[in-house]
Amino acid sequence: MRRRTLLGGLVVLALAGGGAFWQLTQPSLMPATLLGTRTANVENGKTMFNVGGCASCHATEVSDPKPEDRLKLGGGHALKTPFGTFKVPNISSDPKAGMGAWTEIQFVNAMQRGVGRNGEHLYPAFPYTSYQRMRLDDVRDLFAYMKSLPAVDRPNEPHQLGFPFNVRRGLGLWKLLFLDGKPYETSPARSAVLNRGGYLVEGPGHCAECHSPRNLMGGIDADRRFAGGPAPDGKGFIANITPHADGLAKWTDKDIAYLLETGQTPDGDSVGGSMTDVSTNTGMLTAEDRNAMAAYLKSLPARAGKASKK
């Protein structure tokens, strides 16, 4: 009798725990009623596309690339991380392989809530923890611009993840820690230039996603934000971009803006790796936006990076 009672109690606890897990991990969606009628600013959408570096991850690799190939967003890259290998999806306007059949609210939820078209949690290899800071109109403009780009008929490939990372539902718990749903807040104490630069760097530019170390759960270490960190693929180290001695202390605003335009460092060297793509994208921004990003980076708290860790 006691054994049956104990077994029954364990079953009840298991069911209660499963129910709590299911409730806590429920995807959070923004309602379609949030989107009023408006005319999209496609040119602004292009700016968001470039500062967001969408082509860097999602453009399909070709053997002899041409400038226009960066707008063919068939995906396919393999992003290797400590959690497994993520396969970058097709986000072209193709109605079957890409996002051509997506609605605007589905796109908004992917960008700002990390929720896919079918209501599934998206992995934060897609930097929605930064995109959540974007203004809603900017996300809508980006969607309009992306719909104008070529359709690419390239099927998506599944991620290669082991347990427990292949259980998407568990991402609901991760989001409770690292996704707060708050837009970027401008400050009246800052100039318009710094507010614009902060928005571009912290939101669509998602600079902290690569230039920050992460904790064991894969979230950004807030105390060392922008201070550099291991490359997501485990190869090398990404630079400290705070005005610390082992970062950008000796760089001027003009030096940073020039790198964002040309990919050239103050000593005449060229950036390499993924920063080559970044400078290609930011080189398409206006000079005002590059200057604003540079000014914001120089205003960040100076934080010690790898060079200061012995």
Q: Which residue's entry shows tokens 């082509």?
A: 55
pLDDT digits (tens, 9 = 90+) for 145-188: 999 999 999 999 999 999 999 999 999 999 999 999 999 999 99
Q: Does domain 187-310 match CATH 1.10.760?
A: yes
pLDDT, the chain, mean: 90
pLDDT digits (tens, 9 = 90+) for 14-42: 545 556 655 778 898 999 999 999 999 99
Reported pTM: 0.90
Lowest mean pLDDT among 22-26, 212-216, 222-226, 287-291: 22-26
Tokens of 84: 């497994």
First to last CA, the chain: 62
Q: Is residue 204 within 8 Å of residue 265, measured between CB atoms?
A: no
Stretch 264-290: mean pLDDT, rounded?
91
Q: Is residue 98 within 8 Å of residue 112, measured between CB atoms?
A: no
**Residue of higher predicted confidence among 229 and 122:** 122
Task: Tell which residue, 109, 132, 241, has the closest CA to residue 179.
Answer: 132
Q: Quick check: 108 pLDDT over 90?
A: yes
**Proportion of the chain above pLDDT 70, given as a percent:** 91
Stretch 44-51: mean pLDDT, rounded?
98
Tokens of 139: 């996300």
